Amino acid sequence: MLGILGSGFGLYWYLPAAVSLGFSPILVPVRYRDKLLSRDDLKKFNNNISWIKTDQHVIEMATILVISKRPNDQFNELPNYLSKQQLKKIIFEKPLAIDPVSALKMLAMVKASGKQCTAGFTFRFTPWATLLKSRLTSTLHIKEEVWFLKWHFMAHHFSTKVWNWKRDNGQGGGVLRFYGIHTIALLAELGYTEVVSSEVLSELNDEGYSTWQATFRGPELPEFRVEVDSRSDITCFILKNLNKDANFYENVDPFKLALNQTHEAGIDPRCIYLRDVLSEHITPDQPWPERLLDGINLWALVERKTKILSS
């Protein structure tokens, strides 16, 4: 049975994704019920839910458990999850923990428990990422190319001027650990292993970072530059081969569906990609996908290389 912990991303995105895959009933703490019933886009899933008395009861009943909580909570509560014999697989939200050192400790704990885990890195399932992977693996002489990924947007915590963990680098938030981590995971999967440079912009009186720029290299791969600005008045997502005139991919954000993909009205398209996360097969001899460890190791390199610039 599938259980979900997390009343934000867990309810809004993982729940619809799980329902569309046929999971039913889905174990959800009863304390989330009022929130679900207050939302027109979610209350229709009420019949697919088994409302459970407490979070702990969900943990003790589920065989697959989605954990969509703050990174520090995911780290601190892991021993409790791993102690449950019936629980076989855990799906964490990204980042797993506040920093790569803690994330590596989590993987070691999962391996020692004999359980399996994965995490909600969804860039790899997007149409543009599929095209990019095909391009990088099928083209000759690409090592001389330079690629550039530009992702600009206004994060909710900046637009609403609220303080929360997603804004705080020390809690696993900020432009690098909360947003940039998506790109790091994808680049690791594509074979990038070297961090040439990495810089974050620290703004006055802010515990987080709003902008991140980095350059990556990998064996027989083109140089790859990244720029993520989470406090931009312009919204765009552009993937460009700087050796070419036209953009390789351009849209308002990275999660737009391909033209032949559809999703239910009122449901965020990211649910399509979370279906892929939920249905990902992990082999019995591997407690997590190899790309997960590769992504954390590349993240660790980024953190070591990162310089902090002041605005």
SS3 of residue 143 by DSSP: helix
Q: Are 295 and 188 in contact (CB under 8 A)?
A: yes
Residue 54: count other Cβ atoms within 10 Å of its Cβ.
11
Q: Name the one residue in this structure whose structure tokens are 């953009």.
A: 247
- 3 state SS of 307: strand
Confidence (pLDDT) at 262? 55
H/E stretch holding 217 reads strand 209-217
pLDDT score at 79: 98
Helices (H) and strands (E) in the chain, counts: 12, 13
Statement: residue 31 has pLDDT above 60: yes
The separation between CA 253 and the C-alpha centre of its own chain, rounded to angstroms, equals 14
Distance CA(77)–CA(106), nearest Å, equals 10
Residue whose C-alpha is closest to residue 90's, from 100, 102, 99, 75: 75
Answer yes or no: are the C-beta atoms of 170 and 178 closer than 8 Å.
Answer: no
pLDDT (tens digit per residue) in 176-235: 999 999 999 999 999 999 999 999 998 777 667 999 999 999 999 999 999 999 999 999
Do the strands 116-119 and 49-52 form a parallel or antiparallel pair, or are they unpaired?
unpaired
Task: Locate 4 and state its tokens.
Answer: 């979900």
Say yes or no to pLDDT of 265 above 60.
Answer: no
For residue 269, the model assigns a pLDDT of 72
Query: Mean of the per-residue pLDDT values for the chain?
Result: 93
Q: What is the pLDDT of residue 182?
A: 97
Q: Tell me what pLDDT residue 144 has.
A: 85
Q: Which residues contact 172 (CB under 8 A, 6 or more apart)?
A: 70, 71, 72, 95, 97, 98, 99, 165, 178
Task: Judge contact between 309 and 202, C-beta under 8 A.
Answer: yes
Q: What is the pLDDT of residue 281?
A: 83
pLDDT tens per residue across span 58-114: 999 999 999 999 999 999 999 999 999 999 999 999 999 999 999 999 999 999 999
Whether the upstream peptide bond of residue 254 has omega within 30° of 0, thus cis, is: no
Element (H, E) at 237: strand 231-241
Q: What is the pLDDT of residues 127-162, one digit of tens each?
A: 999 999 999 987 666 778 999 999 999 999 999 989
Q: What is the pTM of this model?
A: 0.94
Band (263; pLDDT cuts 50, 70, 90): low
What confidence category does residue 276 fall into, taking pLDDT thresholds of 50, 70 and 90? Answer: very high
pLDDT at position 36: 97
**Which two structure tokens, joined as six digits, stand for 116?**
């399996």
Mean pLDDT, rounded, for 285-294: 93
Domains belonging to the chain, first-starting first, are 2-119 (3.40.50.720), 123-259+288-310 (3.30.360.10)
pLDDT at 74: 98
Write down the pLDDT at residue 267: 61
β-pairing, 231-241 with 146-154? antiparallel
SS3 179: helix
